[in-house]
Amino acid sequence: MKPSVTFDIGPSGDIIDGTLSFEGGVVTAKCGDEIYFSASLEGIEELVLRTYVGCGTLELVPENSPGDMSKSLEVCRFSMTCVEPVGEFCKVVNHYIRTGEETEMSTEGFRVCPICGRHYAKGLNTCLFCVEKSYLVKRLFAISKPYLPALFIAGVFVALSSICTAMLPVLNSKLIDNYLYNSAILADARVKGVVRIAVLIAVSQILSRIFNMISKRRANVASGDLSNDLRVLVYDKVQRLSVSSLTGKTSGDLMKRVSNDTEKIKNFVTEQGMYLMEKVLMFVVVLVILLRISPLLTLIVILPVPFVTCAIRVYWKWISLRFRKQWRCESRESSILHDIVKGIRVVKTFGSEAREIKKFSAASKKLADIAVGNEHRWAIVFPLLTFFMGIGEFFVIYFGGRMVINGQISIGELLEFNLFLAYIYQPLRWMSSLPQKLADLSASLIKIFEIIDEKHDVEDVEDPKPAMLDGDLVIKDLRFGYKAYEPVLRDINLTVKQGEMIGLVGHSGAGKSTLINLIMRLYDADTGSISIAGTDIRDMNQYEFREQLGVVFQENFLFAGTVYDNIAYARPDADPSEVIAAAKAANAHNFIIELPDGYNTVVGEDGHNLSGGERQRLSIARAVLRNPAILILDEATSALDPETEEQIQEALARLVKGRTTFAIAHRLSTLRNADRLVVIEKGRIVETGSHRDLLMQNGIYARLVMAQRQTSKLN
């Protein structure tokens, strides 16, 4: 099947239903049956997608002129709704240009909802904005299934409590008809009857309280288990999300899903779910009693219900959108708060407290306005719904009074009927309040299911091979882009001998860190492969693979624990002697023992009570303790004073010995011990060799060295 996608802007800028296809080395763009562009790929360097404000173009770039846009051939134009499918088309065509191989085009990334036109979330086959509410309810039921027995028992006791309470109208009816207004019975008998009724009322109320207490205890147990398990489920999935998924979400967003959204779901299941059974049971029981007293009055009571139900359905569709907007504002507020707290030192350093307060106040005000608006609208709608729901009460007074006068029912039966109206309207009014609760809940459910259902971008094969990293690392024809149609790395080929140290050099944005991310398999390559000892790393278990990696970043994160815990994080089962040995190897032992509590000193959040050099040495100690087969050093010695840098260089020299190492450094002097330097420019390897060889080539590396020497002279 030939690759084919649609686009929507014609050559003159008009909206069209265009089709873009590729077959037999020819790219074709047409509108309907009319072909307005067709070109062979012979002599073409690549197919390029360029995005602008609200639109984009697809262009063929001839060979030997990749930087000259004037020589590019425009294939078609499109709006941003088409950017994903056109980008996938671009990826397939470029693969053909490089290899001559025609491949099928994946549609996984750009499926759209036929109702709203939004792209489906990754890994989902359903639009979470247009999804039927029955889908959400079924998923909610599936999550809650293990806790339903306990909630069912709690609901039974709630129902028993309500039944005991519902005995009050029956007993009052008996009291009036049989004893208070029945002069045929002797006075003593009437007094005894009143006492008996009073005792029965007291007993029913006592039993109601007991059953209610048992119900709450059972519900609290189920509620606690559900809350814990739901938070762990979501947190576990967040931990397992790929880096690309996490970078598309804010910290506040993820925190809100783990805490607030799971709490809303728990509250709904344990409170509304338990009372649902009680309300339904009470409605059925009371309805039967009312029909026994008077079918006519019962019909009058129920008549407004269908009309109110229709109004609720209309209101539901509108209010659910409002609550989704409220959710986004809550997430925005949480993200701002998280960033401000985490970056409080930067805020204070730049004297930006007033600006940050203003930013948070604006987000909080927006959230408050939406929340107040939602509640304001509900405060207007809910009384109207409940009024029309209970309008039958007024008719019951009129028609019921006439029936008493005509002797059709007794005063006690009318009183019983009126008292039971509260029990029939209570479930109906509870149901009329459900749209608000469900609208608020559905926003949380959508976000939770989006996390739970999201597929990993980095997946293991069904039967992964053991992660054996003893061997040469080979990168072959590697091509990758965070967006497939915008490659960051192009045609990377590199063989690294086991135990060799490779220095990665290049301008900022050249692709050095991206290459490191691919080697660590935080992302999978679009095309090409990375193999170790002849085994593609995609065929290995990714967790076992990363357990054999050691990484030292420029900004190393330290957990809010002790120095010992932060070093032992690499191997929690390590002996204290091994932790101390790792600290000594990293030249960290001496400063650690001078801390107030030595290895038991709490480093604080992000290790802010330690210097940059001390944090870096703790990170190196963590890598030493890991004893990795492959070591990654990403700007591990930047922004340090010469003395501290010398200590860290000495520690790193011990660490890299005998290990396959990849080191990134803008300060080229720190790579003097590298066996080979690899220069990356605009996503391609342009130079390789030793420091001396690259200087003799007088290319990009030589210019970088000369620029740094000039800078050093100025300083």
* Same domain membership, residue 161 and residue 51: no
Reported as a pLDDT band with limits 50, 70 and 90, residue 530 is very high
Under a CB-based contact definition with an 8 Å cutoff, are residues 665 and 510 in contact?
A: no
Looking at residue 518, its pLDDT comes to 92
More confident residue, 388 or 229: 229
* Same domain membership, residue 269 and residue 186: yes
Residue 322 lies in a domain: yes
Under a CB-based contact definition with an 8 Å cutoff, are residues 240 and 456 in contact?
A: yes
Q: What average pLDDT does this structure show over 290-307?
A: 78
Residue 302 clears pLDDT 80, i.e. is over it: no
Under a CB-based contact definition with an 8 Å cutoff, are residues 449 and 206 in contact?
A: no
The rounded percent of the chain whose pLDDT value lies above 90 is 6
Nearest-angstrom CA–CA distance, 610 and 420: 70
Of the chain, the end-to-end C-alpha distance in Å amounts to 62
Domain of residue 17, CATH code: 2.30.29
Nearest-angstrom CA–CA distance, 588 and 616: 9
Amino acid at 149: P
Q: What average pLDDT does this structure show over 518-538?
A: 89
Average pLDDT, the chain: 79
Condensed to tens digits (0 to 9), the pLDDT of residues 596-608 reads 889 998 887 666 7
Task: Tell which residue, 138, 443, 454, 453, has the closest CA to residue 260.
Answer: 443
Task: Tell which residue, 451, 135, 445, has the closest CA to residue 268.
Answer: 445
Residue 378 clears pLDDT 50, i.e. is over it: yes
* Same domain membership, residue 273 and residue 167: yes
What pTM does this model have?
0.67
Residue 474 lies in a domain: no
* Same domain membership, residue 268 and residue 355: yes
More confident residue, 435 or 99: 99
Class of residue 317 by CB neighbours under 10 A (exposed 0-12, middle 13-18, buried 19+) = exposed
The rounded percent of the chain whose pLDDT value lies above 70 is 83
Nearest-angstrom CA–CA distance, 78 and 628: 48
Residue 710 lies in a domain: no
Beta bridge partners of 504: 664, 678
* The last residue of a domain, from among 395, 422, 453: 453
* Same domain membership, residue 174 and residue 269: yes
Looking at residue 497, its pLDDT comes to 92
Calculate ∠ Cα 129-130-132, nearest 5°. 115
Looking at residue 474, its pLDDT comes to 93
More confident residue, 432 or 616: 616
Condensed to tens digits (0 to 9), the pLDDT of residues 29-42 reads 998 888 889 998 88
* Same domain membership, residue 145 and residue 92: no
Condensed to tens digits (0 to 9), the pLDDT of residues 167-214 reads 777 777 777 766 666 656 666 777 777 788 888 888 888 998 898 888
Residue 600 lies in a domain: no
Q: Which residues of 188-199 are buried (b: 16+ CB within 10 A; e: fewer)?
A: eebeebeeebee
Condensed to tens digits (0 to 9), the pLDDT of residues 126-151 reads 565 666 667 777 887 888 888 888 88
Q: What average pLDDT does this structure show over 294-313?
A: 76
Looking at residue 114, its pLDDT comes to 59
Looking at residue 436, its pLDDT comes to 65
Reported as a pLDDT band with limits 50, 70 and 90, residue 113 is low
* Same domain membership, residue 59 and residue 17: yes
Reported as a pLDDT band with limits 50, 70 and 90, residue 493 is very high
Class of residue 296 by CB neighbours under 10 A (exposed 0-12, middle 13-18, buried 19+) = middle
Looking at residue 182, its pLDDT comes to 60
Given strand 630-634, what is the order of strands in its sheet?
549-553, 630-634, 660-664, 501-505, 676-681, 684-689
Looking at residue 126, its pLDDT comes to 59
* Same domain membership, residue 210 and residue 285: yes
Domain of residue 181, CATH code: 1.20.1560.10
* Same domain membership, residue 94 and residue 162: no
* Same domain membership, residue 154 and residue 92: no
Nearest-angstrom CA–CA distance, 513 and 551: 12
E strands, 497-544, in order: 501-505, 527-532, 535-536
Looking at residue 496, its pLDDT comes to 92
* Lowest mean pLDDT across 112-126, 500-514, 669-683: 112-126
Q: Which pair of tokens denotes residue 194?
A: 């009143």
* Same domain membership, residue 367 and residue 280: yes
* Same domain membership, residue 289 and residue 245: yes
Looking at residue 292, its pLDDT comes to 80
Structural domain harbouring 215: 133-453
Under a CB-based contact definition with an 8 Å cutoff, are residues 454 and 245 in contact?
A: yes
Looking at residue 606, its pLDDT comes to 66
Residue 285 clears pLDDT 70, i.e. is over it: yes
Looking at residue 674, its pLDDT comes to 84
* The last residue of a domain, from among 82, 99, 116: 99
Residue 1 clears pLDDT 60, i.e. is over it: no
What crossing angle do the helices spanning 612-626 and 642-656 adopt, rounded to 10°?
10
* The last residue of a domain, from among 402, 418, 453: 453
Residue 184 lies in a domain: yes
Condensed to tens digits (0 to 9), the pLDDT of residues 415-466 reads 777 777 777 777 766 766 666 677 667 777 877 887 777 777 778 888 888 8
Task: Tell which residue, 81, 76, 82, 104, has the closest CA to residue 91.
Answer: 104
Under a CB-based contact definition with an 8 Å cutoff, are residues 661 and 469 in contact?
A: no
Nearest-angstrom CA–CA distance, 20 and 5: 5
Residue 571 lies in a domain: no
Condensed to tens digits (0 to 9), the pLDDT of residues 50-59 reads 888 778 899 9
CA quadruple 11, 16, 21, 27: dihedral, nearest 10: -10
Domain count, the chain: 2
Nearest-angstrom CA–CA distance, 501 and 673: 8
Residue 259 lies in a domain: yes
Nearest-angstrom CA–CA distance, 542 and 458: 8
Residue 537 lies in a domain: no
Task: Tell which residue, 637, 378, 338, 677, has the closest CA to residue 500.
Answer: 677
Looking at residue 123, its pLDDT comes to 46
Beta carbons within 8 Å of 581's beta carbon, 6+ residues apart: none
